[in-house]
Amino acid sequence: MPTLFIDKDVLKNNIAITKSLSGEAHIIGVVKGNGYGLGLCSFARILVESGIETLAVTELEDAVKLRNSGIHCDILMLSPLYQKEDIITALNQYLILSITSCECGEIAEQTAAELNIYARCQICVDTGLGRYGFTDNEKRDIIYTINQMKHLCVTGIYSHFYAASCKKSVHTVRQLERFTSLCDEIEQANVFTGFRHIAASCALLRYPEAKLDAVRIGSAFLGRLPFPDHLGYKPVGQLQAPIQDIRVLPPGTGLGYGHTYITSRQTTIAVISVGYAHGLGTRRYNSCPGLTHLPGYIFRMLKSILFPKKLYAYNGEKPLPILGKIGMNSTIIDITGTKLTIGDTVFIPVNPIYVDSSLPRQYS
């Protein structure tokens, strides 16, 4: 059965680099999406063992799983809770709530008061992402909400960049200015907001001035960044798959769906038991952007079609080209000149976030 292997030493090295770059800023380890594909509880446990004192999730169920697995550190809910039963669960699990609107704050305060529970929360501000949170021109609503909450103590205020990985810095710089200005104005009104944080992985690496009091890190721990790395990060995660069959094919043989690959010589091929159903070859595609960004979008799409990135499996250090289209549950690789046999295993570097959650995760 295919297995996702995670090199624990590489992961810990990535964590160490991140801690060095963060300086005195508090690190919030984001473990959403099944721990970015590394396995929620296993990934969280390594972060805590490495000195990360606060985790963040987007799903209440994930926070409950972490608590049930023995994770007792602070956990921040990055999404709002409006259902009373969800808020009760969160309060009983000692989670830090995110307050994104007056209504959100009122429901959380009312629920905590009914339970006679005193808990913590953070204020979420939308400075341009357009997802959720108070807008940065709702200063009065934020102040009102904080003052009305008697059972919830505000320990932080945060926002999120929407273009930190883009080449142009103007949007990120503007968001940072808007966020810090809002925070200053709130505190000038003698309202305490606690830790300020807006930077995630990309912003930490590209905009050191955005570290503020805390940074939220996820993808950097995996060593997967949308720009060249010169800091020593290494990608985490390889799929291991066994060889199911081996064949020797003559020149001119078409391989896979659509015969997108034709052998030019006698080729020894192996079929491995992993495919796109397991996450192999999966990439992120966003919906078509507006007219302003359409030319660049079309260029990138054409480039990916005309000059697709070559994928390789590995046995030791030797690269084994993947031939033809990746199938649902099987993939063809070129093992010409090797001594591989049926039952041997190969490794394929992958982005763990795309690896099917049903596959086992093994740390080594």
- CATH classification at residue 325: 2.40.37.10
In this prediction, residue 303 has a pLDDT band, given cuts at 50, 70 and 90, of: low
Instruction: Label residue 23 by pLDDT band (50, 70, 90).
Output: very high
Q: Chain-wide mean pLDDT for the chain?
A: 92
Structural domain harbouring 30 = 3-222
Q: What's the mean pLDDT in 106-127?
A: 97
pTM of the shown model: 0.89
Contacts of 340 by beta carbon, 8 Å cutoff, 6+ apart: 243, 246, 270, 315, 346
Same domain, residue pair 187 and 53: yes
Residue 53 sits in the same domain as residue 134: yes
Percentage of the chain surpassing pLDDT 90?
A: 85
pLDDT, average across residues 88-105:
98
Q: Of 160, 191, 222, which one is at a domain's C-terminal end?
A: 222
| CA dist 2 → 235, 240, 356 (Å) | 19, 5, 10
Q: Which of 196, 222, 248 is the last residue of a domain?
A: 222
Residues 346 and 266 in one domain: yes
Contact 32, 62 (CB under 8 A): yes
Q: Is residue 229 part of a domain?
A: no
- Same domain as 205, residue 67: yes
Asked whether residue 313 falls in the same domain as residue 212, the answer is no
| Domain closes at, from 164, 189, 222 | 222
In terms of phi and psi (left: phi > 0; alpha: psi -120 to 50; beta: otherwise), the region of 303 is: alpha
CATH code, domain with 31: 3.20.20.10
Q: Is residue 230 situated within a structural domain?
A: no
Q: Bridge partners of 269? A: 247, 334
Instruction: Give one DSSP letter per residue of 91-138, joined into a string.
Output: HHTTPBEEE-SHHHHHHHHHHHHHHT--EEEEEEEESSS-SSSEETT-
Q: SS3 helix, strand, coil % of the chain, rounded to 5?
A: 35, 25, 40
Residue 228 lies in a domain: no
Q: Are 147 and 191 in contact (CB under 8 A)?
A: yes
Residue 7 sits in the same domain as residue 137: yes
Residues 210 and 254 in one domain: no
Q: Are residues 207 and 260 in the same domain?
A: no
217 and 306 both lie in a single domain: no
Residues 341, 303 share a domain: yes
| CA 288 to centroid of chain Cα atoms | 22
Residue 48 and residue 84 share a domain: yes
Looking at the structure, tell me whether residues 103 and 20 fall in a common domain.
yes
- What's the total number of domains in the chain? 2
Nearest to 168 by CA among 207, 133, 195, 197: 207
